[in-house]
Chain A
Amino acid sequence: MAISLNKGGNVNLSKEAPNLENVLVGLGWDARATDGQAFDLDASLFMVKEDGKVPSDAYFIFYNQKTSPEGSVEHTGDNLTGAGEGDDESVHVTLSKVPPEIQRLVIVVTIHDADARKQNFGQVANAFVRVVNRDNNLEVVRFDLSEDYSTETAMIFGEIYRHAGDWKFKAVGQGYAGGLRALALQHGVNVG
């Protein structure tokens, strides 16, 4: 039975799923039921150091850079509409291969072209993030964000972070204006 977190809650992944190694971070949302341009949500992941910044731009994993240099994090691809059951986008993480200097994996979702399409998270239904143990396909923790977002166009859904030798997951649910660019700048990425 997976743990369901509310905003701000956290869980110790290493205790809930001992020997957790191959992780799937799944992100989902409902496809647009109404007419109009589809909601194209993009999952990204910032691998940041203690200071909250990426060691280099190579540690910003997104649709145009799907794998980290050492291969510990891999984005599985872009879903343009949110159609279909289950995860709409996912990121694979091999925990033992994450470089020691990386303290946190910040999982963000942004709405592509949100301003032009006049879209925000409040219009998207049933968004969630979940952490799955790929070795047995069991869901370890889930965070449903539906009530925790509103007019933002970029959100930190959650983060996986080191704590006293263990890996923990925190349900963040923090929204930002300015889309992926603003979040990238905040995490020390050089955006052209």
Chain B
Amino acid sequence: MNLQRGQRAKIADLVPNGQRFTLGVAVNAPDLILDFACFGLDGQGKLSDDRYMTFFNQPTTPCGGVRLETPAGDAAGFAVDLGKLPSTIERLTITAALDGAGAMSSIGSGHVRFMDAGRETGRFDFSGADFAAERALMLLEIYRKDGVWRTSALGQGFNGGMAALVGHFGGTVEDAPAPVSAPVPPKPQTAPLNLSKITLEKRGNTVSLDKKANAAHGEILINLNWTTRAGPVKKGFFGGTRSNSIDLDLGCLYELKDGSKSVVQALGNTFGDYRDPPYIALDADDRTGTRTEGENLRINGQYWDEIQRIVVYAFIYEGTPNWAEANARITLKTPGQPEIEIQLDSSRNDRPMCAIALIENQGGSVKITKLVDYYRGHLDVDKTHRWGLDWVRGKKD
């Protein structure tokens, strides 16, 4: 069945079993970066539970009713099992949002298609001619009406991009600075939804920041932030209430070109130094969990040539390890480069330490490799990466 924009159909008429199918999404737009997501919405069309937004950083819903699965030949996709969805989820909306410049009018052809056991059973074709200045689209939705699952080919969107889309679903995105004349409001307890970033999705993914000729890298800022879901019911998009129960520390192992090796971390008060070796400095220790900006590690890019390699890690100093609830992520910011984000998205609650990323000097370029490996402590990280330091148990002042 070919669905026209605006057309509705019963799922049972598209997929014989009426319950399980995979949606494949593709857009022919070589110059644009598109992010696809599936929003699981309540009866009011709102994303009342952030865990039901399925996208590259959150590959499955808690119930397993929606998970990332890309059919061959498509750019993205979602395996759907309607029978697994809780009754609170009334609607699944498949969306596409532009990351970076552009508008949907400049896309070529695109489609959302229903796949049943590898066979296409229905599709909705669209093209740039259907759109104008939209930067985020609701492509297709699957919804429950009087106990029957149906689909509707939407093909409508928002010029305001992902932020407007999230707003439509009742979420909040904190990315616009407050007007200068207005009093500065208290900083909301929600982390900003990053609209411009590179995300290293899988372990072993790498990205290289090439140094422009005769230019230093500038400051490489590594931020560790986390939220917990232990507090009141979350309202914000990706937001959460910070709990005092977990003290997450950011630190790194480093090795300089001259062979010197050590750590930069709050534990043992080795905060490093920005202007002198190791050219890596930790801002401060956020022990209270009340600072919303998290912890920062700065690498002085002017001296990048002096640095051989760095393993960035997070360490739960106090509190029971619960990585899944900590929802920790680090971002790496380099001037003039897209922000890089790594989620600590697997959970080993028996291990208090997570080696997050390996940063290497490769012929002057900054090569970043996602690790997200969990360890019992520093010694194990050291052994894995063959650092060769001596370790004794330390305590913070």
Mark A residues whose CB is within 8 Å of B.
Answer: 32-36, 118-123, 146-147, 149-151
25 pairs, A vs B, C-beta closer than 8 Å: A32-B156, A34-B134, A34-B156, A34-B157, A34-B168, A35-B158, A36-B132, A36-B134, A36-B156, A118-B5, A120-B4, A121-B6, A122-B4, A122-B5, A122-B7, A123-B6, A123-B155, A123-B156, A146-B145, A147-B145, A150-B4, A150-B7, A150-B8, A151-B5, A151-B7
Complex Cα distance, B7 from A123, in Å, reads 8
Chain-A contact segment, one of B146-154, B256-264, B285-293, B368-376: B146-154
Is A123 a contact partner of B157 (Cβ separation < 8 A)?
no
| New A-B contacts (15) at CB < 8 Å, excluding given A34-B134, A118-B130, A150-B4 | A34-B156, A35-B159, A36-B132, A36-B156, A36-B157, A118-B5, A119-B6, A120-B4, A120-B5, A122-B4, A122-B152, A122-B153, A147-B8, A150-B8, A151-B5
B 267-295 binary contact with A (CB < 8 Å = 1; else 0): 00000000000000000000000000000
B107 at the interface (CB under 8 A from A): no
Give the shortest distance, in Å, between B103 (CB) and chain A (any CB): 11
B33 at the interface (CB under 8 A from A): no
Is A35 a contact partner of B133 (Cβ separation < 8 A)?
yes
A123 (CB) vs chain B CBs: closest residue: B6
Complex Cα distance, B8 from A32, in Å, reads 18
List residues of chain A with CB within 8 A of the CB of B158: 34-35
List residues of chain B with CB within 8 A of the CB of A32: 156
B326 at the interface (CB under 8 A from A): no
B152 (CB) vs chain A CBs: closest residue: A122
Complex Cα distance, B5 from A149, in Å, reads 12
A146 (CB) vs chain B CBs: closest residue: B145
Is A35 a contact partner of B157 (Cβ separation < 8 A)?
yes
List residues of chain A with CB within 8 A of the CB of B25: none
Of residues 88 through 133 on chain B, the ones whose CB sits less than 8 Å from some CB of chain A are 130-133
Give the shortest distance, in Å, between A178 (CB) and chain B (any CB): 16
List residues of chain B with CB within 8 A of the CB of A146: 145
With A122-B152, A147-B150, A150-B8 as contacts: A35 and B145 at CB distance below 8 Å:
no
Q: Which of A33, A34, A149, A151 has the most CB of B within 10 A?
A: A34
Give the shortest distance, in Å, between A121 (CB) and chain B (any CB): 7
